[in-house]
Amino acid sequence: MATSVPTETLSAALERKLTERTARVGVIGLGYVGLPLAVELARAGFTAVGVDLDARKVATLNRGESYIPDVPTSDVAEFSRAGRLLAFTDAAVIQTLDTINICVPTPLRKTKDPDLSYVVAAVEMVAKHLRPGHLVILESTTYPGTTDEVVKPILERGGLVAGRDFFLAFSPERVDPGNPHFTTRNVPKVVGGTTPTCTRLAKTLYSASIEKVVEVSSTRVAEMVKLLENTFRAVNIGLVNELAMMCDRLGLSVWEVVDAAATKPFGFMPFYPGPGLGGHCIPIDPFYLSWKVKEVGFEARFIELAGHVNGAMPHHVADKVTDALNSHAKSVRGSTILMLGLAYKRDIDDIRESPALDVMAVLMQKGARVLYHDPYALRLAARDWPGNVDMESSPLTDATLAEADCVVIITDHKVFDYGQIVRHARLVVDTRNAIKPAPSHVFKLGAPVAKS
């Protein structure tokens, strides 16, 4: 049984270390969330220690290089040389830390149930090395109650008590990959602890590197905040995706409708349609909430309906491609289709949950020969998509465009030369309103075809 140390002594000692920047701060999971956080903590003057099972990531960081576009290699090199950014695969380093932020994935199972296996594995790793005075913060998006019901019991198995012997909090990540305006530093950080002392210590840590920290009353509130944010986006995107399908039938341009509605200075926020939802948050997080509330007999109908609409968009895009080919007296079967963009959003390399993967798979099932071009995702492994074949990015040349029976713009990367695409492609399906104005051989999602 662990020996208890007076809480005031532990908390005061940790608070002093955090204030003086002498604390060794740890981050478990060095991906799109963890690495930017570790870099900001190092920038604030802490010794930031990253832990990741991927030896390639660890080796890259220890060479002073970054593998995430939003984190400049110059920053990693600077902090690595100064000894303020270190990376390890061995979890034993946790014993030397004062704080641990857990930033691991929380995907969905095929049944749309939460998969907390990464969180549980990370927490059990921490539990093996937990000592009095540690501050543990979960940042992985999850359902309300995870910190109290899953994380806390695992950490308390050794006899230490949360809020007395160690400190526990939840703070949802708010990363927007590829956004140069809102970064880890200037996006407000929501924090909720298991006790007021836990909240205060977590706020002290984050306040050293983040411009604004927002305290809430509990870990459950903090967990719910993140789900509200992403459910808000998912539901509104579902609404505008449904509107796009309506406009297809009505012969209207959803893009013109939304842009005109956006001129209203109050009571309206523009959302735009697309080929489906992608990324590590919006396609997943709302289902964490709908799954959780089933435990209390509540049916989250808005969430389920939005998920149904958004999930159908890749099939709608495939139907749009079919219609476009039919207008040129061609069948999908046997046609060569060039997909432009594999990443789930513009100007990043993240393909997680990307709708491009589903559109490609549907078109392949229909018998098409599918190619893709994405300068940010040069290779696609069979295990990473439903098509289950290895692929490489094709070159984007005049000849490649001309040889394709249809070119589909899935991700509107800024590096694409849309003038070149219009000039050399025989047929284009534009799911992002990237081509403006659109000539007659360009079919747009949610818009009528321009007359010749």
Closest CA to 346 of 415, 425, 428: 415
Determine contact, residues 126/136, Cβ cutoff 8 Å: yes
Determine contact, residues 101/175, Cβ cutoff 8 Å: no
Active site residue 406: no
Annotated catalytic residue within 103, 198, 281, 406: 281
Count of beta carbons in the 10 Å neighbourhood of residue 383: 7
Determine the Cα–Cα distance for residues 220 and 214; give it in Å rounded to an integer: 14
Given CA atoms 15, 17, 18, 24 in this order, what sign does their dihedral have?
A: negative
The pair of three-digit structure tokens given for residue 419, joined into one six-digit string: 């003038």
Count of beta carbons in the 10 Å neighbourhood of residue 162: 21
Determine the Cα–Cα distance for residues 85 and 49; give it in Å rounded to an integer: 6
Determine the Cα–Cα distance for residues 331 and 367; give it in Å rounded to an integer: 9
Whose structure tokens read 């491609």? 321
What is the DSSP annotation of 157-216?
GGS--BTTTBEEEE------TT-SSS-TTTS-EEEEESSHHHHHHHHHHHHTTSS-EEE-
Whose structure tokens read 């998006």? 141
**What would you measure as the largest C-alpha separation in the chain, in angstroms?**
81
Q: Known catalytic residues?
A: 281
